[in-house]
Structure 1
Amino acid sequence: MAKQHQDSVWPYIYSGRSLNNNGFKMTIYNKGIGPALIKSVSINVDGTNYNSWQSLLNQYDLDTLTFYCSNISGTIISPQEEHTIFGLTKSTEALLVWNKIPNINVDIIYCSIHDECWNSNGSQIKKINSYESINGICK
């Protein structure tokens, strides 16, 4: 019965990116049936980790771009809710990032209300037993 109860509140977090007339954005979605407590979010491009959006843009000589971002570590994302964690509203800048950094992923550590935790890395979700918290990537 306890397993059935845990399954009935299972969060399912994944990230996506989009480019349209309104710009570029990275978004986190909870497509599960339970709330997700976000423990940590980190940025990864082709196996290299970045501690902030600014450090990523600096690496690709895009440090003059104007972006917006949101730190969601420590927040709860309800079922069917989404949060934009990074974005560019100028279409020329958005297209530049889309083309110059095509493999941006975010690694997300999140837990259910029963303290079961997972790592979602853009291509797969794995259950984990321990994790390292990362403060905020919106620097």
Structure 2
Amino acid sequence: MPIQSPPPDTDPATLPADARLAPTPAVARQSSTAQISSIVALAVSVLALATGAYQTRLMQAQARASVWPIVSLGLSYFGSRDKGGFTWEVENNGVGPALIKSVTLSLDGKPMRNWDEVYQALFGRGRENATVSSVNGNVLPPSTNRDTTIAAIRTSQPDEAKALFEAKDRFKMTVCYCSVYDECWEAQWLKREVKPVAQCTVANTVQFEQ
């Protein structure tokens, strides 16, 4: 049989033991309210923790995006009977510095180590008049407020400029670079898209130095 609470004017000493142990309605309501309050407090704490973690991740993502470098590899060329010019350009169109970790260059599928090897393959002689700039291992700043393009090679000799321009599709250059947060990408010769990679690999590759 269910235990019934005694009337308010009943002397507790005259009640059976099981009746004296039964909680009054007021005590039961207080216990239920306390349990609900504890559950609500726990839910609020969990929600606050989740919100804080999300905001932290969002701030970290925004910080990384604020310094993303975007490296592109292209060229500029003009040619005429008497004058000509060719420039192999490496530029950073992003908003953060690019740490160049790896550079590879091939001509007709054959790896090249430097521009002298390129000239030997194209002209049968070494580089003489063209000027070159190192790319591998450099930090390329963003060109947001100034021109920071690296001229990997530049020549004003009409025959050299024309030959380099006509051979542009025979070249393949890959530049692997990273941001200050060690997020890395690969840029390809004459391609606008960059590919994210886990890291820049140098082992078992022929690095192009200059």
Question: Which TM class, normalised by the smaller chain length?
Answer: 0.7 to 0.9
Amino acid in the other structure paired with 1:116: E
Q: Offset of 1:85 from its aligned partner?
A: 0.7
- Residues 177, 200 of structure 2: 8 Å contact kept: no
2:81 equivalent to 1:15: no
Q: Tell me the number of residue pairs that the alignment of Structure 1 and Structure 2 aligns.
A: 137
2:111 equivalent to 1:49: yes
Q: Which has the higher contact order (CA 8 A, sep 6+)?
A: 1
2:181 equivalent to 1:114: yes
Identity of aligned residues (%): 26
Root-mean-square deviation over aligned CA pairs: 2.0
Tell me, what secondary structure is at the counterpart of 1:60? helix
Amino acid in the other structure paired with 1:137: E
Alignment deviations for residues 36-86 of structure 1 (CA, whole Å, 9 cap, x no partner): 111122213354432222212222234245222111222211111211111
Which residue of 2 is the match for residue 129 of structure 1? 198
Structure 1 residue runs without a partner (length 5+): none
Alignment deviations for residues 80-107 of structure 1 (CA, whole Å, 9 cap, x no partner): 12111112121222112222x1323421
Aligned-partner Cα distance in 2 for 1:61–1:121: 24
Which residue of 2 is the match for residue 4 of structure 1? 62
Q: TM-score, normalised by structure 1?
A: 0.85
- Residues 64, 181 of structure 2: 8 Å contact kept: yes
Aligned-partner Cα distance in 2 for 1:10–1:110: 11
Larger radius of gyration: 2
Which residue of 2 is the match for residue 79 of structure 1? 142
Which residue of 2 is the match for residue 28 of structure 1? 90
Q: Offset of 1:130 from its aligned partner?
A: 2.5
Q: Offset of 1:22 from its aligned partner?
A: 5.2
Aligned-partner Cα distance in 2 for 1:87–1:94: 8
Aligned-partner Cα distance in 2 for 1:48–1:102: 14
Q: Offset of 1:135 from its aligned partner?
A: 5.5
Amino acid in the other structure paired with 1:74: G
Aligned-partner Cα distance in 1 for 2:152–2:123: 21
Structure with the larger helix share: 2
- Residues 116, 127 of structure 2: 8 Å contact kept: no
Bigger CA drift: 30-39 or 126-135?
Answer: 126-135
- Residues 11, 31 of structure 1: 8 Å contact kept: yes
Which stretches of structure 1, 4 residues or longer, exceed 3 Å deviation after superposition? 45-48, 133-136
